[in-house]
Structure 1
């Protein structure tokens, strides 16, 4: 029978962080706009190798799909 590890013993009741050593997140304001990360299947990623290619294809699809149809329902 496998026993799950008890991580509660490793947690200290309080941690002291030295914020003087903290560095800003270099990726936080990369583009200045909201970005969503989507993981493509391998066969799709072979065809659409850049974010621009994916966006171009999706925008073309949006133009031909009627607005009354939800993409999630397809």
Structure 2
């Protein structure tokens, strides 16, 4: 059974009013195409659908460094080098 749910007024999109205070309504012609003429995407070349889909699907590992750590290791290469060295040290300690 579905019940009615009240939505807080702050989450309901506000209707825009024109200068006279009446609610603004668009006619059907305005709803069809709201892009400006200078945004003619048919003239743009080189777009590739799904260009970044595979890397996005593979995922990334992002880590937020604290300020003091970021100061000591300012680049991704520096962080990776330090972590690889730490991994080698840990491996030697186990052996």
Q: TM-score, normalised by structure 1?
A: 0.47
